[in-house]
A = this chain, B = another copy of it.
Amino acid sequence: MASASDGMNYAPQGKPDPVVKPGEFCFAVAAMDHGHIFGQTNGLTEAGATLKYTFDKLDPDKARNLADQHGAQHVTDLDVILNDPEVQLVAAAAIPNERAPLGIRCMDAGKHYFTDKTPLVSLEQLGDVKAAIGRTGKKYMVYYSERLHVECAMHATELIEQGAIGRVFQVTGFGPHRLGPPEGRPDWFYKHEQYGGILCDIGSHQIEQFLTYAGCKDATVQAAKVANYQHPQFPELEDYGDCTLIGDNGATMFFRVDWFTPIDLRAFGDGRTFIVGTEGFIELRKYVDIGNPDGPGDHLILVNKDGEQRMDLKGKVGFKFFGRLIRDCIDGTETAMTQAHALKAAELCVRAQMQAERVTD
C-alpha cells in the first residue's frame, strides 16, 4: 500500500504466517473512513484469515477495489455481512465517533469486532461497549498499530517480558504525525465531535504502549494539555497534545502527539518510544532513524548490563498479534490482547482528553 511517509494510509506488510486454513476464518471489512483499514486487512489476511466481504457506506469504489485485491465480494448493504454466519469478525475503520455504534451492531449480530484506534470517544460509549461485550460474549478488539504493527515495538514487548531492562518504571512516547495538504483530509478530521480530540485519537496508541510496557492494569491521568498552535483555519483541530499518567504499579508515562512533521522527513513522523527500567533502557526509532541517511525505521536500541546493542528489526520480528487474534476468536482465549487492556487504554485516552488543559486560545 502506501509508504511510511503517508501516515493516514500507512499499511505495513509482513510475511504470510497463517494460523488457519483458507476459509477457516472469514472476516469482512465494514468501514474504510481511515486508511488504517488496509493495515488491519493486511495483518489479518497474512495470518490466514479470508476476507469475504467489503463494504463502505460512503465510498463504494474504495470498497470494491479492496474486494478485488483479495478475491472478496463487495456489498452495498451491511446486513449482507451481518446476516452471513460464515463471517466471524468484522474489521472497520469508521469515523472515530461511529466506531462504537458500528461495533455494537456487529457484536449484536454475533460477530467479533476489530476496530481501528481510537475505539471510542466517550465514557458513555465505553459503557455501551462493555454492555455489548457482556450481552454478546464477543470481542471488541482494537488496532493499536503503533505497537501491534511495528516490529521493533513488538520486539520491545518481548524483551521487557524477558526482563532485559528490569522493572519498567517510565515510558515516554512521541507520536508526531504529518498533516499533509489540509484538503487531503476528510471533513471529519477537523470536527472535534467526530475525531474525538488529539489525545483520544492518536494519543490512544501511546497509552496502550504504556500499559503494555510498564505492565499496568490501570492508571490515572495526572495532567494533560491540548493546543492549536498553527491552524486557526481549523478551530476544532488540536495540532498538539500531551499527557502524563501514573500507573497502578507506580510506573509513569509522558507522551506527546502533534501534526507538525516537516514535509521533508522521510516518514509520516519521527515516532519514538523510550522505556526506562531499573536495569537498563530501550529506545525505539519506529519509522526513520533521523540524521542517518541509511537509517530506515524499526530500530531498537537496548542499553543494559551487557552494554549497548542496536537492532535493525525490519522483517525479522513479524506481527504476531493478528494470528493470535484469529486464534483467540476461534478458541475463546485472550493471547493477543485482553479485552480489559484494550478498553483500559481507550478509557484513559478519553479521560486524558476530558482532563486536558487548553494552552492556546
A positions within 8 Å CB-CB of B: 167, 169-170, 172, 174, 176, 222-223, 225, 227, 229-230, 240, 242, 244, 246, 250, 252, 254, 256, 258, 260, 262-266, 270, 274, 276-281, 283, 290-293, 299, 301, 303-310, 357, 359-360
Contact of A276 among B258, B305, B308 (CB under 8 A): B258
Known interface pairs A264-B306, A292-B310; A252-B359 also in contact (CB < 8 Å):
yes
Contacts of A307 in B (CB 8 A): 264
Q: Is the CB of B304 within 8 A of A264?
A: yes
**Complex Cα–Cα for A280 and B176 (A):** 11
**Complex Cα–Cα for A307 and B263 (A):** 8
Q: Is the CB of B229 within 8 A of A278?
A: yes
CB A172 to nearest CB in B, in angstroms, measures 7
CB A216 to nearest CB in B, in angstroms, measures 12
CB A113 to nearest CB in B, in angstroms, measures 35
Contact of A278 among B260, B274, B278, B304 (CB under 8 A): B260
**Complex Cα–Cα for A314 and B166 (A):** 34
Q: Is the CB of B262 within 8 A of A305?
A: yes
Q: Is the CB of A227 within 8 A of B254?
A: no
Q: Is the CB of A227 within 8 A of B250?
A: yes
- 10 more CB-based (< 8 A) A-B contacts, given A223-B223, A240-B252: A169-B229, A172-B174, A176-B281, A227-B250, A229-B278, A260-B278, A262-B281, A262-B304, A264-B308, A292-B310
Q: Is the CB of B291 within 8 A of A301?
A: yes
Known interface pairs A276-B176, A290-B283; A250-B308 also in contact (CB < 8 Å):
no
